[in-house]
Amino acid sequence: MKTSRIFAFLACLAFSITGAHAAEPTKVRVGFINNVQSAVLVHIKSIANEENLDVELVPFTRYPDVQKALSVHSIDVGVIAPNGLPTAVAQGDRNVVGVLDLVYGGNSFVMKKGVSVRTFQDLKGKRLGLAEGGVSWMMFVMLLDKNGMSYNDIQSVNFSGATDMINALKRGDVDGVDLWEPFVAQTVSADIGYATPAVNYRESPLSALNGLLGANKDFATKQSDALVRVLRLILKGEKQLQNDQAMWINIVRGYSNLDDATTKLALQGITYGGPQLSQTKMDTVARFIYKAGIVKTDVSGKLGENVDAKFVARAANMAESAVLK
């Protein structure tokens, strides 16, 4: 009897210790952008307990700022531009690892009312506002080449941000501007211009890939299990938001100043990537930025461990070959 009581006590003690250890969630710092696409990253905080994580959300306004924060390990994971990773590697910075195609869509060409652009060729000779160096600009240049055109066929005007482009369109300084959400929806809602279907970024070699999930390399190496759990939450959250647009809009309302109607319009054409990682697209970007003179080294085919599909493969319970595109 005495022995059985001892065993019972030891069992309770072991359960207590195990339970206490399991109750300690792993803290993960997640960087997101104040746009409609980042809603899934904000959403995972509300379901983080399902994977025993403590998610700290860190807001940013630009992709390059997220990339820098990841590189110096101010955050653990975050959304970055698809061109950010190959650019960093070409410049000798291998501190960030691409682990998931996060989001597709959200880029459009908005033309001034009264300017008719029904085919891509109609852009010839037009004054077009572009944010040179960004992912949207890169895809547009790729589309120029695909349609047998070059920069010489348009009158390009470089801008540093979306707001300046919208104001230029409003004044009539340009015929069209290359925008991204939620600025596309805001411009169309204000009746300043219209989004022309003649410029379809899904026809570019990047297929409108607009956001890549990056992870700090040290975090991915030392806390790979935590990274897999983050990805598991993201994949679950993507399905939830795409099946419940009201939830998606409600989340965006919580961290932005967008009204619901504009958010709903901005969501059109935006899709989450699901369990996949596009190494071929990263190689395409690497070749492009080298040929465009943005970097001095062509790292296509040399990204190696900086594009790592094993984490999302584990999260989705799939083979790496099945998620690597």
Of the candidates 310, 309, 294, 301, the residue with the CA atom closest to the CA atom of residue 280: 301
End-to-end CA distance of the chain: 62
Q: Which of 171, 203, 235 is the last residue of a domain?
A: 203
Domain membership of residue 4 (yes or no) is: no
Domain membership of residue 6 (yes or no) is: no
Q: Are strands 271-272 and 96-104 parallel, antiparallel or unpaired?
A: antiparallel
Summarize pLDDT for 172-230 with one digit per residue, the tens: 999 999 999 999 999 999 999 999 999 999 999 999 999 999 999 999 999 999 999 99
Summarize pLDDT for 255-278 with one digit per residue, the tens: 998 999 999 999 998 999 999 999
DSSP 25: P
Q: Cβ neighbours of residue 51 under 8 Å, at least 6 residues apart?
A: 229, 230, 232, 233
The alpha helices in the chain, defined as continuous H runs, are 2-22, 39-43, 63-71, 84-90, 135-146, 162-171, 183-189, 217-222, 224-243, 245-255, 260-267, 279-291, 310-316, 320-323
| Whole-angstrom distance, CA of residue 273 vs CA of residue 234 | 10
- 3: confidence class by pLDDT, cuts 50, 70, 90: very low
Does one domain contain both 229 and 244?
yes
DSSP 297: S
Does one domain contain both 254 and 125?
no
- 15: confidence class by pLDDT, cuts 50, 70, 90: very low
Domain membership of residue 157 (yes or no) is: yes
Does one domain contain both 134 and 253?
no
Average pLDDT value over all residues in the chain = 93
Does one domain contain both 306 and 175?
no
Respond yes or no on whether the N-terminal peptide bond of residue 182 is cis (omega within 30° of 0). Answer: yes
Q: Are strands 96-104 and 127-130 parallel, antiparallel or unpaired?
A: unpaired
Q: Output the pTM of the full model.
A: 0.90
Interval 79-101 mean pLDDT = 97
Domain membership of residue 271 (yes or no) is: yes
Q: Cβ neighbours of residue 18 under 8 Å, at least 6 residues apart?
A: none
Does one domain contain both 262 and 319?
yes
| Whole-angstrom distance, CA of residue 45 vs CA of residue 65 | 21
Does one domain contain both 250 and 305?
yes
Does one domain contain both 268 and 224?
yes
Number of domains into which the chain is organized: 2
Domain membership of residue 305 (yes or no) is: yes
Q: Which of 203, 233, 265 is the last residue of a domain?
A: 203
User: Which CATH number covers residue 195?
Assistant: 3.40.190.10
Domain membership of residue 233 (yes or no) is: yes
Does one domain contain both 220 and 90?
yes
Could you tell me the sign of the dihedral formed by the alpha carbons of 312, 315, 316, 318, in that order?
positive
Could you tell me the sign of the dihedral formed by the alpha carbons of 304, 307, 309, 311, in that order?
positive
Q: Which of 154, 171, 203 is the last residue of a domain?
A: 203
Contact 25, 53 (CB under 8 A): yes
Domain membership of residue 2 (yes or no) is: no
Domain hosting residue 124, numbered range: 107-203
Q: Is the pLDDT of residue 8 over 50?
A: no
Domain membership of residue 19 (yes or no) is: no
Does one domain contain both 97 and 111?
no
Does one domain contain both 119 and 190?
yes
Does one domain contain both 215 and 94?
yes
| Whole-angstrom distance, CA of residue 30 vs CA of residue 24 | 18
- 295: confidence class by pLDDT, cuts 50, 70, 90: very high
Could you tell me the sign of the dihedral formed by the alpha carbons of 4, 5, 9, 12, in that order?
positive
| Whole-angstrom distance, CA of residue 217 vs CA of residue 64 | 17
Interval 121-145 mean pLDDT = 96
CA angle 166, 81, 177 (to 5 degrees): 20
Does one domain contain both 223 and 305?
yes
Q: Cβ neighbours of residue 280 under 8 Å, at least 6 residues apart?
A: 325
